[in-house]
Chains A and B, each alone.
Chain A
C-alpha cells in the first residue's frame, strides 16, 4: 500500500534546516562547512611549512631563490582581480542583473592563474627542481599543487553557478572562490617572500 505521507524534497530539507550561526553567512551553509574545513587544513600546512623552514632555513632560503617572486605577485594580482569580478557578479545577481559576464571574467582570470602556474612548474622542472629535490620543493609542489587543484574546482563551480543562476547559488560559488583567493594571499608571502 503506497504511503500517503508526503516526503519533503531534499532541497526543502536543506532550506528549512536550522544551521544556527552558519545561517548568518552568505550562500549555502554546507559550503561554509567546507570553507572552514579547508582553512583548517591549509592553516596546518602553513604552520607546518614555517616549522620545516625553521628546522633548515639555509636549504629553504637557497631553494626559494629559484622561485620567481614577481611572477608569484602577478598571480596574486590575477586572483584578487578575479575575486573582485566574482564579488561584482554576486552583487549583480542580488540586484537582478545578469552576472554571467562577470563570473566568466572571474573564471577566465582563474584559468590565466593556472596557465602562469603551469609555466612556473615547467621552468622549475626544466631547471631540475623536482618534488624530491629537497623538503622545500616537496612542500612547495604539495602546497601550490593542492591550491591549484582548488582553483580548478573553483573555475568549475563558477561555471556551474553562472549556468544555474539564483542568489543562493551565485553567493555559494563566489564564497568558494574567495576562499581560494584568501588561501593564496597567505600562501604567496610564506612560500615566495619570507626568508
Chain B
C-alpha cells in the first residue's frame, strides 16, 4: 500500500505543480509560485527516494545526503530566479 499511496501523492503533486505553473499563461510566475513549484517537486523527489528507491531502509545518513542535494539544487534555482528578477546578473553580464 505504501507504494500505491506514494504514486497517488506523486500524481497529486504533479498536478499541483502544473496548476501553480499556469500551463496556459505566459506571465512570470513570481518567486513565491516558483518556490511552490520547487517545493512540490522536492517533495516528489523525496517520496521517490524514500519509498520507490528504498532509502527509508538505508538509514538517516543517506537520506540526509540526498535531501541536502535536492535542497542545494532547489535553492540555487530559486536564487538564480530571484537574481534574474532583480536584473542583477544581466547587468553584470
Contact = CB atoms under 8 A, between A and B. Distances in A.
A46 B14 contact: no
A194 interface: yes
B53 A186 contact: no
A151 interface: no
Nearest to B80: A50
A61 interface: yes
Contact of A47 (B10, B57, B73): B73
B29 A24 contact: no
Interface string B53-93: 11101110110000001101100110111011100111001
A195 interface: yes
Contacts of A43: 69, 72-73
B11 A80 contact: yes
Contacts of B62: 21, 24-25
A144 interface: no
The main secondary structure of chain B at its interface with chain A is helix
Contact of B77 (A26, A55, A190, A195): A190
Categorize the interface residue count of chain B.
35 or more
Interface stretch (A86-94, A110-118, A119-127): A86-94
B76 A26 contact: no
Contacts of A143: none
Contacts of A141: none
Contact of A55 (B54, B55, B89): B89
Contact of B84 (A21, A53, A87, A179): A53
A182 to B, nearest CB: 5
Contacts of B57: 26
B64 to A, nearest CB: 12
Contact of A178 (B52, B58, B69, B85): B52
18 contacts: A47-B76, A47-B77, A53-B80, A55-B84, A57-B90, A73-B15, A73-B17, A77-B14, A80-B10, A81-B11, A83-B7, A83-B10, A84-B7, A87-B3, A87-B51, A186-B73, A190-B77, A195-B29
Given A25-B54, A47-B76, 19 more contacts: A24-B62, A26-B54, A53-B80, A54-B81, A73-B18, A76-B14, A80-B11, A80-B14, A81-B11, A174-B52, A178-B48, A178-B53, A182-B53, A185-B44, A186-B45, A186-B70, A189-B38, A189-B40, A193-B29
7 tightest CB-CB pairs across the interface, nearest first?
A: A193-B21, A50-B80, A84-B7, A54-B84, A69-B23, A57-B84, A54-B80
